[in-house]
Structure 1
């Protein structure tokens, strides 16, 4: 729909002036060539509009997201070769010297939770060890916000096994479970729901139609003063504006917070995921992840990717924070549960040991920052010199920061630096993902300067 409106502005329908013979009998008939030209323009405009609308239907989420259909053939479980799968998770969770690195991982990539940074970590590990990724076909997500189905995986065949699944999806456990060997580690990441809502509102607000009606400079504050006035739960892309974590994890984001189903869903997440990371304690989360997967320190080094430029509008105040928390109460209950369990896990790991490992991770990250990043910090999109380092931007703005790679880097660090700084879309293409829809959509956006 948005493209249709834009096309009407860019290519307005020609006004046809018919000769009113009864009123102005002396007016001569319009030349035949003018009619032919107008007809050609109308036909070309209709064809071009139809093409873009068709492309748009592939490039953006569908209006109604239902369960993805599957066939009996699609339900065939992963059949790893004998001895090919990792040992049971409990064996890999040991911190002893005999611990073996985990290579089978499902990362449920949630929105606006530093998940792109974690994705880069998984890309690097998989590339380093020659692992098999389950990539989406055509786009950089699994037809989100539709539910995940195995048939959405690029080059999928019944019984196929993959080591790593990590792109955006709306989670559907049984479908995902059937793509990885037994003992695969399931992980995800959560964020304070009020802060997540703020980030999602600014990033996705331009593609949620009701938010277009907000007139004040601080649209977020206006929305939170009376969210029911602007929010339609059945509206286009409305899932981005309420309980986004619950939605991403595959649950009904419009449930009554007092429903017993909410607690059941939270306990279900706890039973399915071996580790739930917290964005606010990202370094501590990576230390726990490193321990769970029996990885090395180099495997979890990172630079913050897909970060948004600070908004000129102040962050949520106390009252607006309270309103945002209440508006996203399902996510709030989810987050509070896993915040508590996270710190129980830190206690079991050891506070002193955690502080030591976090300090080591931060020192290593700082060292890589000095080695890799020109200027030592993230910059606006306009200041990024290499298009291969240009991150994907939200519609209508360039608010996502990126990096410039130093021009002179020692050979032993050059490959790692480039991989650590490569944005998601470019890295997916480097790894062999077929993103023809995403690339074509980018070309159109660049041409129309969206």
Structure 2
């Protein structure tokens, strides 16, 4: 079970899982009518497409607001639970950019640099009950099904982190993505071939501002629960790396990077990502944030070796299209996409 957090390279990881599950003919627990389990509602087993009591699924990996008892009713008892975290300051910046247009409280922030204005006095603009306001405060903690408005010193925060640590066998870190994959491979007895990836759903570098030390500190203060969560699992992550062996980890990461680099040359036209307007194939167009076209994608190499064509195409296919290829019912997501296209939003 992969608890898909927001803005944490989770779209890249879900591509790995979709390919693995498809390759081994595993049974996915997919959402019904959209690409998430009715987020931000707390997950219910009835949200799973085709759910019936006693029916067994192997993989669950779409966005949800985690609800452990309900998830446990969908998956086997020996399910391996994993998720991924990101530095909360960087995550906040990414979330503010990606979701800002659908969080009404940001509409009234004056000036061009709305994020800086917000961080310098967040209480002036933030309302816990505001529509979609959860995207802008302790989003990781919220994704885990917890109260993101608690004070970081509240005992319930410590208790929740302990429960999360007991439930999840591996908590990966976006900043150490390759190392995370190697730990996953070791835990699940995967092959190196199962870990190959291209970075998906990433922003154009020109749209990613560098946080000043002042704003970084303010972002961490504002997202203090997420910072506490991240520091806890950063510690346990490196304990796992030490147990695996630093030297072995370095060698394995180097091999993974080498294998990925080889596939870049084989699969990707020009060897790099391109802006949305330069993507030739509609099937390769990534989902864009409201009011933006800042997410990059790829063009499949026109002269790709036939032996690699299927793998390359799957590795480059964005999440919505891949889910569609697997037969997931996404009519609500697609309807929203058409509406956005009509109103140019």
TM-score tier, shorter chain, comes to over 0.9
Residue 314 of structure 1: CA displacement? 3.2
Of 131, 136, 151, the match for 2:26? 131
Residue 157 of structure 1: CA displacement? 1.0
Distance 1:338 1:444 in 2: 40
Instruction: State the partner residue of 2:333.
Output: 438
Q: Is the 8 A contact 1:257 1:329 kept in 2?
A: yes
- Secondary structure of 2:81's partner? strand
Distance 1:385 1:296 in 2: 33
Distance 2:209 2:49 in 1: 42
- Secondary structure of 1:188's partner? strand
Instruction: State the partner residue of 2:104.
Output: 209
Instruction: State the partner residue of 2:36.
Output: 141
Residue 312 of structure 1: CA displacement? 4.8
Instruction: State the partner residue of 2:62.
Output: 167
Instruction: State the partner residue of 1:111.
Output: 6
Distance 2:13 2:267 in 1: 18
Instruction: State the partner residue of 2:94.
Output: 199
Instruction: State the partner residue of 1:394.
Output: 289
Residues 205-284 of structure 1 mapped to structure 2, 5 A cutoff: 205-284=100-179
Q: Is the 8 A contact 1:169 1:248 kept in 2?
A: yes
Residue 178 of structure 1: CA displacement? 1.3
With 438-447 and 162-171 compared, the bigger mean Cα shift is at: 438-447
Instruction: State the partner residue of 2:186.
Output: 291
String of CA shifts for 1:187-233, please: whole Å, max 9, x gaps. 00000000000000000000111101122221111111100111111
Say whether 1:302 aligns with 2:200. no
Residue 405 of structure 1: CA displacement? 0.4
Residue 134 of structure 1: CA displacement? 0.6
Q: Is the 8 A contact 2:198 2:315 kept in 1?
A: yes
Larger gyration radius, structure 1 or structure 2: 1
String of CA shifts for 1:268-302, please: whole Å, max 9, x gaps. 11100010000000010011011111101110100
Instruction: State the partner residue of 1:447.
Output: 342
Residue 245 of structure 1: CA displacement? 0.3
- Secondary structure of 1:240's partner? helix
Of 284, 302, 312, the match for 1:407? 302
Say whether 1:374 aligns with 2:269. yes
Q: Is the 8 A contact 1:239 1:247 kept in 2?
A: yes
Residue 311 of structure 1: CA displacement? 4.4
Of 305, 327, 332, the match for 2:222? 327
Distance 1:258 1:180 in 2: 34
Q: Is the 8 A contact 1:218 1:313 kept in 2?
A: no
Q: Which of 1 and 2 has higher RCO (CA within 8 Å, sep 6+)?
A: 2
Q: Is the 8 A contact 2:142 2:148 kept in 1?
A: yes
Q: Is the 8 A contact 2:285 2:318 kept in 1?
A: yes
Distance 1:425 1:314 in 2: 27
Instruction: State the partner residue of 1:122.
Output: 17
Distance 2:89 2:250 in 1: 27
Residue 310 of structure 1: CA displacement? 2.4
String of CA shifts for 1:242-262, please: whole Å, max 9, x gaps. 000000001000111111111
- Calculate the TM-score normalised by the size of structure 1: 0.76
Distance 2:296 2:247 in 1: 34
Say whether 1:153 aligns with 2:48. yes
Count of residues paired in the alignment:
345
Residue 408 of structure 1: CA displacement? 1.5
Residue 149 of structure 1: CA displacement? 0.4
Distance 1:376 1:147 in 2: 41
With 305-314 and 132-141 compared, the bigger mean Cα shift is at: 305-314
Distance 1:184 1:351 in 2: 28
Residue 313 of structure 1: CA displacement? 6.7
